[in-house]
Chain A
Amino acid sequence: MTGNGRRLSRREMLKRGTLGAAGFAVLGDALEASSDESSRSAGLPNAHDPHAAGTVGAVRSDGYDPKGFLEHFDYGHVRTLDDGQVLREYEIVAVDREIEVAPGVRFPAWTYNGQVPGPTIRATEGDRLRVRFANGGSHPHTIHFHGIHAANMDGVFEPVMPGDEFVYEFDAKPMGLHLYHCHAVPLKKHIAKGLYGAFIVDPPEPRPPAREMVMVLNGFDTNFDGENEIYAANTVAFAYQREPIRIVKGELQRIYMVNATEFDPINSMHLHGNFFSLYRTGTTLAPQEYTDTVMLCQGERHILEFTYEDVGRFMFHAHQSEFAELGWMGLFEVMEPVA
């Protein structure tokens, strides 16, 4: 039942698109006012002020909010099958959409559900996943999940034509942090345009309670010269520098970090004023490393755990200074716990 492509009605496509947009509108309300011209000529910082580095202005609230994305996990529509297995159903639509990757900078993206990165899909090891994928874009697309599954569920040899759909169905395994992305050719183009997302498979016994975040490292080649003009964690350059991520002192933090950067072979993560426990690919329950800097090649992903014992602002960014200064930089604001 899953292998045959079925044409999606135009009406259904429109409906899904509208629903998606409505969701984004709610998310977007939380964003602050859009940048305007006056904010760009406001008082300039001193040349040696650390705040002089970075973009100017703020992104508009037109659908995607890095703050909301950070802690949003999509568990799907859950139901239990007759044999007791948990079934999680997802609907994903590929949509061409212009997104804002830095204040005032528009990028003609190809998206899953109208957002880059696509929704963070989360399941527990052994769950059944049924992902109904509709292609509302202008090019053939697929979803290639990293994981262990059947050959015909791999999203490589079954390109889904515009207007068609395909249902991927497989068990979530192995436990760990994975990713999904389009595998239509040319591969580089389909990934660079924004078709990727995080895929978390929780262990049967949950990891210890923590404040959890997902960061998909990505880049955007806005002038199509084969190099990224923008780097980011979760698409918008300097988003978490402009609006630092607030965390509570003493609370365990867990970051699911996936490298979806195109063109550059590696990316990295460096945490200031602290060290983190590193679970490579998240496939173990015991950390392999205790460090403050880790390198991720294209498609590589790790789980990072750390706790701050001091309040204040701490940076995190790629340790490639170029990536950091082109947008992949953010701040944690560590606060005292509220009594």
Chain B
Amino acid sequence: MSASRRALLGWGVLPLVLLAATALLLSRTELVAFMRQGAPPVEELTFDRVTLEPNLIRVDVVNGGPDPVTVAQVMVDEGYWAFAIEPGATVPRLGRASIVVPYPWVQFETHQITLLSSTGLTFSHEIAVATATPKPDARFFGVFTLIGLYVGVIPVAIGLLWYPLLRDVPRRWIDFALAVTIGLLVFLGVDTLAEALEAAADVAGAFQGILLVAVGALGTVLGLQVLSGAKLRSGGVGGRMAVALLVALGIGLHNLGEGLAIGAAYALGEATLGTFLIVGFMLHNTTEGLGIVAPIAKDRPSLRSLAGLGLLAGAPTILGAWIGGLAYSPLFATLFLAVGTGAIAQVVLVLMRVVEEGRERAVLSPLTAGGVLAGLLVMYGTGLLVA
């Protein structure tokens, strides 16, 4: 290493050393203690996951506050109850603890769990409808796979059947189909973003749920941009296939979020997934198939690549349902949904460019604008069935 490089390195490290020294100085002085004025610690515990087994309630909590929190006692329905807490009663900042309460909960009734900290603060969680959390056995995977198939895979596959129709229509109608795809993706993007923000509200404070959404979404946009840029710019059949792949990926990530929501709702006993609702999801998701085939309508892709695209878009629903049913966590749900939002945003950008190329920079003709609106309206209309 040359002298000049060493000097450069020194200048790079110097501010960090000074920062560390300042932090040390701050921790050695009374300034912080003075600012707190002897006030009790700020305690914050967030319920990450509550699972029920016969005669047992298991609670996972996260400390998202600035100070450690000691769980002193546990109440269920306004009565103190025996419990065990692992790894210890004191949960450090950003730490987790698992609490087991041997409680005879009642099927389909509401229960309230309250944790009493050593300073007397209470943290409560309501189990809206008590029912045993599904166990990861063959039956669980069977049922949740079926739900994922019905909600995600089958509708997308049916939507792909529009491919022969698109193959034979004039170019401007393909632009219309692409515009419709943009519309429905915008709808899905907003939907995913809303879900991400909703999940973010349940994330422990220190993990900054809303900013996690921003980082996850933008990170995905930038990442996909870099990864797919060259392929997209190459144009031709390969470029169009890359667009279709991106559309399928974006829809797949959205469907992962949908699966998460269904699985978690089912696991928490909040879902009444009636036949009507499943049919609604099917209609809603069938339009997604159209979006995938629109970019490659003139390319005669093989049946295998069509099936691959369909699986990429639909199968994540199954995965999401598994994860949601078994290990729903607001933190990971927020992250998944943020990634989904970013992926969809990126796909919308790419599709806009595709339409733009074909129409010599006039993205929004009456036809394409109508297409975007039609896409939004179709999603909104079929969305009414699942709301």
Our verdict on whether A and B bind, yes or no, reads yes
Say whether B102 contacts A47, CB under 8 Å.
yes
B119 within 8 A of A: yes
Say whether A47 contacts B104, CB under 8 Å.
yes
Residues on B with C-beta less than 8 A from A51 are 82
Say whether B102 contacts A229, CB under 8 Å.
no
Say whether B120 contacts A107, CB under 8 Å.
yes
B109 within 8 A of A: no
User: Given A46-B102, A238-B80, A103–B73 Cβ distance below 8 Å?
Assistant: yes
When the two chains form the complex, which single residue of B89, B104, B117, B120 contacts A220, counting CB atoms closer than 8 Å? B120
User: Given A44-B100, A52-B103, A53-B80, A104–B118 Cβ distance below 8 Å?
Assistant: yes
B386 within 8 A of A: no
Chain A contact residues: helix, strand, loop or mixed: loop
Q: In the docked arrangement, what's the CA distance between A296 and B226, Å?
A: 75
| Total cross-chain contacts (CB, 8 A) | 98
Say whether B122 contacts A222, CB under 8 Å.
yes
Say whether B85 contacts A40, CB under 8 Å.
yes
B103 → A minimal CB distance (Å):
6
Q: In the docked arrangement, what's the CA distance between A89 and B145, Å?
A: 80
Interface residues on A, range: 35 or more
Say whether B56 contacts A47, CB under 8 Å.
yes
B75-92 vs A, CB cutoff 8 Å, 1 = contact: the mask equals: 100111111111011100
Q: In the docked arrangement, what's the CA distance between A121 and B380, Å?
A: 75
Say whether A53 contacts B79, CB under 8 Å.
yes
B20 within 8 A of A: no
Residues on A with C-beta less than 8 A from B81 are 52-54
A326 within 8 A of B: yes
Say whether A40 contacts B116, CB under 8 Å.
no
**Which of B79, B84, B120 gathers the greatest number of chain A CB atoms within 10 Å?**
B120
Q: In the docked arrangement, what's the CA distance between A42 and B73, Å?
A: 14
**Which of B72, B81, B116, B119 gathers the greatest number of chain A CB atoms within 10 Å?**
B72
B384 within 8 A of A: no
Residues on A with C-beta less than 8 A from B102 are 44-47, 49, 52
User: Given A52-B103, A237-B80, A105–B55 Cβ distance below 8 Å?
Assistant: no
A230 → B minimal CB distance (Å):
8
User: Given A41-B84, A54-B80, A326-B79, A48–B122 Cβ distance below 8 Å?
Assistant: no
Interface residues in B16-68 by Cβ distance below 8 A to A read 40, 55-56
Say whether B119 contacts A48, CB under 8 Å.
no
Say whether A54 contacts B82, CB under 8 Å.
yes
Say whether A44 contacts B72, CB under 8 Å.
no
A106 within 8 A of B: yes
A62 within 8 A of B: no
Residues on A with C-beta less than 8 A from B80 are 53-56, 102, 237-238, 325-327
Q: In the docked arrangement, what's the CA distance between A103 and B117, Å?
A: 11
User: Given A55-B73, A104-B89, A45–B82 Cβ distance below 8 Å?
Assistant: yes
A324 and chain B: residue at smallest CB distance: B79
Residues on A with C-beta less than 8 A from B117 are 105
User: Given A44-B100, A105-B118, A322–B78 Cβ distance below 8 Å?
Assistant: yes
B70 within 8 A of A: yes
Say whether A41 contacts B85, CB under 8 Å.
yes
B161 within 8 A of A: no
Q: In the docked arrangement, what's the CA distance between A37 and B119, Å?
A: 16
By a beta-carbon cutoff of 8 Å, the part of chain B in contact with chain A is 40, 55-56, 70, 72-75, 78-86, 88-90, 100, 102-104, 116-122
By a beta-carbon cutoff of 8 Å, the part of chain A in contact with chain B is 37, 40-42, 44-49, 51-57, 101-108, 220, 222-223, 225, 229, 237-238, 321-322, 325-327
Of the A-B pairs whose beta carbons lie under 8 Å apart in the complex, a sample of 29, sorted by A's number, is A37-B89, A40-B84, A44-B102, A47-B55, A52-B81, A52-B82, A52-B103, A54-B81, A55-B73, A56-B80, A56-B82, A57-B72, A102-B72, A102-B116, A104-B70, A104-B89, A104-B118, A105-B116, A105-B120, A108-B40, A222-B120, A222-B121, A223-B120, A223-B122, A229-B75, A229-B120, A322-B78, A325-B78, A326-B75
